[in-house]
Structure 1
């Protein structure tokens, strides 16, 4: 009997690819839309896993808080109210930000966090409790449908997310018993006692933030805006010069905000934008249109911003001259992404000590 004939290399590869194609076709035929949905949902369920943060306790000099305020926010004057947003993509930054506030607070047990989420609120709450078992916080559901029709496309996709506009609705979301709040973005770390920022005298203003009057204010609006005298007169009626300020760090008097109807004022400018493109930078320009020139100025040390570079390339930046109380990676580049890529900027090493991440799954933007 003749020995079995060996298959040629070409024939072997042909059979291999034919079998692979057959298996793929079989899988496609047996998969249902429901199974595809479940598969996507299982991937969606992945959230970062973090190390448990240590407990931070008050010293003897700290004012006592009422017992019930640990479970629910109140008008207890001993409390410092802080608000941030939570979502899967920026959760690593939010956790680092919370840790930094606690670590440098003189009275960490007097902090109450108001956290806003538009999706997966229960999953985010469980993650937060596991990471910060001693944290006093309340999680609020922000409905993205309430703002989706008001959003116009900007220069960067992240700026168009509905949760980026939640800061406009703080006075509606937080209970009336909360008189003022410190708003913090999710891409920053605080390296000073947050009580110093909380205690600033608002001097009858609604909002306090570091101002940057040397910045070119005209670039935050389009030529169409500056060419329309009806629109530009909004800045001419103000007693102080309209200056740029970054909305990632703000102290807000919620009582005055509600009394003045400032949510509706911001929304009215968003409506103008829908009909006539007057700006490109997401939720920032409406704040400038309503508040620029009416802001209680805060020391620049409380927002060393721009460390994420510009909105297009995210190149490395240096610190501004002067002391630092807060480091803010506003811009395209985020420190956790640059560190993971092995191509960090020098200042990203200042963010790294606050990173509690243990498992960081890939999350689409």
Structure 2
């Protein structure tokens, strides 16, 4: 039986959220026994490792933890971005040589469709598959910034690094991981390792359908997307058939009590984990006293336009 090899990375602060992502994957696949998780471990406590392992095993998957020497990678961090975000750049180095293909997932997302469909997506010879980042694509200012810092032509696509299909044979042959690490350690990029990946893989990646990484600039349907014909059509199509709901950005679902469409999916899958009895919500210091009322309104706005235009 072919294994579907998935990689996630976390420090101890994100152990619970990693378990939620794993639970969503296993609950939505027809063959959970095919799912094999590698967890890139940045000092996750033994207790939390056990809770993650129990969650995965209860839902019929398999998991292995790999501790990554933090000397392997370091880069500019800011805000909610920790060094754990850079661990994905070591995948080609730390996974067994027998693993030639993986799907990488961030831990601030849930998967709502069978991951085997994504596993079977063809890269057509490219070393990387990723989803376009509408947060960058909708903004003339950000496209200009990517041209100035990365050399990315303003008309070219830019991808989000939260969901990646990786051909590890090519990554190892071309030493892509080391190339990206070298790039991010030399620059204080605004979007951290995501910028480094976009620079190294410029014009050398395969577009994955938008539904496989739906981030806030898609699921909130802002005016800059709504008024841009091409982006609007793609966003509406993705919203009709969501496969990955990704809380990219500063607002995270676990920092607020269950309240509306913004964080309902997180709480739905938290119930399937061994972290279900943890105190909730879990706000960071800078998010205490803040509200997700605006985020809920924006999602309802998006669903209104989906009904009108869909």
Q: What TM-score comes out, normalization by structure 2 length?
A: 0.75
8 Å contact kept, 1:221–1:280: no
Q: How large is the RMSD of aligned CA atoms in angstroms? A: 2.9
Structure 1 residues 261 and 215, CA, compared in 2 at 3 Å: closer, same or farther? farther
- For structure 1, the residue ranges without an aligned partner over 5 or more in a row are 1-64, 66-77, 311-318
CA deviations over 1:191-223 (Å, ceiling 9, x no partner): 111000001111110001122574347626759
Q: 1:13 matched to which residue of 2?
A: none
2:172 is matched with 258
Structure-2 change in CA distance of 1:153 and 1:187 (3 Å) = closer
**Which residue, out of 49, 74, 97, partners 1:176?**
97
Q: Could you say which residue in structure 2 is the equivalent of 1:268?
A: 182
CA 1:354 to 1:284, structure 2 compared with 1: closer, same or farther past 3 Å? Answer: same
Contact 1:116 1:139 in 2 (8 A): yes
Distance 1:125 1:299 in 2: 33
CA distance in 2 between counterparts of 1:211 and 1:309 reads 14
CA distance, structure 2, for counterparts of residue 85 and residue 264 of structure 1:
18
> Residues 364 and 332 of structure 1: is their aligned pair in 2 closer, same or farther, counting only changes over 3 Å?
closer
Identify if the C-alpha distance between structure 1 residues 349 and 269 changes in structure 2 by more than 3 Å, giving closer, same or farther.
same
- Structure 1 contact 85–116 (Cα < 8 Å) conserved: yes
Give the CA deviation at 1:119. Answer: 0.5
- Give the Cα–Cα distance (whole angstroms) in 2 for the partners of residues 103 and 152 of structure 1: 35
Q: Rate the CA distance shift 1:349–1:271 in 2: closer, same or farther, 3 A.
A: closer
More moved, 327-336 vs 301-310: 301-310
Cα offsets for 1:294-342 (capped at 9, x unmatched): 21111111111127999xxxxxxxx9422211111111111121226xx
Give the match for residue 33 of structure 1.
Answer: none
Give distance in 2, aligned partners of 1:93 and 1:271.
27
Confirm or deny: 8 A CA contact 2:72 2:90 kept in the other structure: no
User: Is 1:188 the equivalent of 2:112?
Assistant: no
TM-score relative to the length of structure 1:
0.64
More helix by share: 2
8 Å Cα contact 2:53/2:63 also seen in 1: no
CA distance in 2, matches of 1:117, 1:334: 21
Structure 1 residue 241: deviation in Å?
A: 5.9
Q: Give, in angstroms, the shift of residue 118 of structure 1.
A: 1.0
CA contact (8 A) 1:121 1:139 kept: no
CA contact 1:329–1:335 (8 Å) conserved in 2: yes
The 5 Å alignment of 1:97-112 reads 97-112=21-36
Please report how far the alpha carbon of residue 122 of structure 1 lies from its aligned counterpart in structure 2 after TM superposition: 2.6
- 1:129-278 to 2 correspondence within 5 Å? 129-133=53-57, 134-148=60-74, 151-154=75-78, 156=79, 158-159=80-81, 161-212=82-133, 214-216=137-139, 219=142, 222=145, 226=148, 232=151, 235=152, 242-273=156-187, 277=188
Contact 1:309/1:330 (<8 A) preserved:
no
Determine the C-alpha separation between the residues in 2 that align with 1:217 and 1:176. 42
Q: Is the 8 A contact 2:129 2:208 kept in 1?
A: yes
